[in-house]
Amino acid sequence: MFRPQLRRASRRFFIGDRAYPEIERIGDPHSCWDDVYHLLLTMPWPAFASLTCILYLLVNALFALAYSIGGGIATVGENEPGYFLDLFFFSVQTMASIGYGAMYPTNLYAHSLVVIEALVSLFFIATTTGLVFARFSLPTARILFSNVAVIAPFNSVPTLMFRTANKRKNYILEAQLWVTLVRDEYSDEGDFMRRFHDISLMRSHTPVFSLSWTAMHQIFPGGLLDGDTAETLRRDRAEIIVTLTGLDESLAQTIHARHTFTAEDIYWGYRFADILLTGSHGRRVIDFNVTPTSEASPLL
């Protein structure tokens, strides 16, 4: 029934685990490198760790090169270190404040480089530590959404429905859902616009969200989505954007998740399979193993 929050890489680019629309900016060029701090916070952990390691090795290699150019580094029992690799390890010891005592500067040039490297290491370690802490402390939501939304009768009224679930074993307090329909429209004057319509839900707020939540919007005559079909929604490039916010009970921080249903993701005349069961021990059970092909079954 469930899948990751966003999945269309062909229409979105990914930073970290978030996806953003691919928009070509004219007159205001945008680059990820214009906001390096945001980039470092949102890139995937493997990329962040690899970039940090590469920068660390590169900085030490540059200082080793600088030491080799000016000399002035002696080894205990010898006049000069024998290899460039020795200077690299001396740079690592200086940057990490290890100081084994096997190598030491002997002239003003080498002492000056040690001072500069000590300052560089201070900023590098402080920045890296702050970024790692900030990445770990970012509040994240483990919210799942159904693969599809369905439109089926509920209490004899056509109703748009989709599901969301809390994957963590805790509570999300004061959870709220905002649902918006986005579609192409033309004004009476013939002006094209990408129009946003708020979709009202039968229940958009819950004090405690722990298992699953089926959001419902009743389609009344003359209301939103009345008279629409799968063809009209595809023609208008319609999308249903869902945003969920709440307070994570464990983190005591506000978390949020979002999801998008396109016109192709809306199944007409289908209903969801039941995922809430009662186990043999009498406890409530939620089944996340419902496959996408069986999560929505046609009405008989």
Domain shared by 106 and 84, yes or no: yes
**201: containing domain:** 143-298
Domain shared by 109 and 150, yes or no: no
Tens-place pLDDT, residues 14-50: 444 455 556 666 666 666 667 888 889 888 999 999 9
Tens-place pLDDT, residues 279-288: 778 777 877 7
Could you give the CA distance from residue 48 to residue 42 in angstroms, rounded to a whole number? 9
Average pLDDT over residues 174-184: 95
Q: Which helix (H) or strand (E) holds 247?
A: strand 239-248
Domain shared by 131 and 152, yes or no: no
22 domain residue, yes or no: no
Residue whose token pair is 């990914």: 14
Domain shared by 121 and 229, yes or no: no
Domain shared by 188 and 293, yes or no: yes
pLDDT value, residue 78: 61
CA-based angle 22:23:28, to the nearest 5? 140
pLDDT value, residue 188: 85
31 domain residue, yes or no: no
Read off the CATH number of the domain in which 104 is found: 1.10.287.70
Interhelix angle for 108-137 vs 45-70, to 10°? 180
Could you give the CA distance from residue 198 to residue 253 in angstroms, rounded to a whole number? 26
Domain shared by 280 and 188, yes or no: yes
Taking the CA atoms of residue 43, residue 49, residue 52 and residue 56 in that order, the dihedral angle to the nearest 10 degrees is -170
Domain shared by 240 and 276, yes or no: yes
Strand partners, 267: 150
Domain shared by 152 and 116, yes or no: no
Tens-place pLDDT, residues 42-89: 889 999 999 999 999 999 999 999 998 888 888 766 655 657 888 999
pLDDT value, residue 71: 81
Domain shared by 222 and 272, yes or no: yes
Q: What DSSP letter does each residue of 52-64 carry, written as one string? A: HHHHHHHHHHHHH
| pLDDT score of 295 more than 70 | no
Is beta strand 284-286 parallel, antiparallel or unpaired with respect to 296-298? Answer: unpaired
Is beta strand 239-248 parallel, antiparallel or unpaired with respect to 172-186? Answer: antiparallel
Question: Do 170 and 249 form a contact (C-beta atoms < 8 A)?
Answer: yes
Strand partners, 296: 272
6 domain residue, yes or no: no
19 domain residue, yes or no: no
2 domain residue, yes or no: no
Read off the CATH number of the domain in which 176 is found: 2.60.40.1400
Which SS3 state, helix, strand or coil, does residue 231 take?
Answer: helix
Q: Which residues does 42 contact at the CB level (< 8 Å), separation at least 6?
A: 15, 16, 18
Of 137, 159, 184, at which residue does a domain stop? 137
251 domain residue, yes or no: yes
Domain shared by 153 and 266, yes or no: yes
Which SS3 state, helix, strand or coil, does residue 223 take?
Answer: coil
34 domain residue, yes or no: no
200 domain residue, yes or no: yes
Domain shared by 122 and 207, yes or no: no
Of 137, 163, 198, at which residue does a domain stop? 137
Strand partners, 161: 150, 216
Average pLDDT, the chain: 84
Of 91, 120, 137, at which residue does a domain stop? 137
Domain shared by 131 and 218, yes or no: no
Q: How many independent structural domains does the chain possess?
A: 2
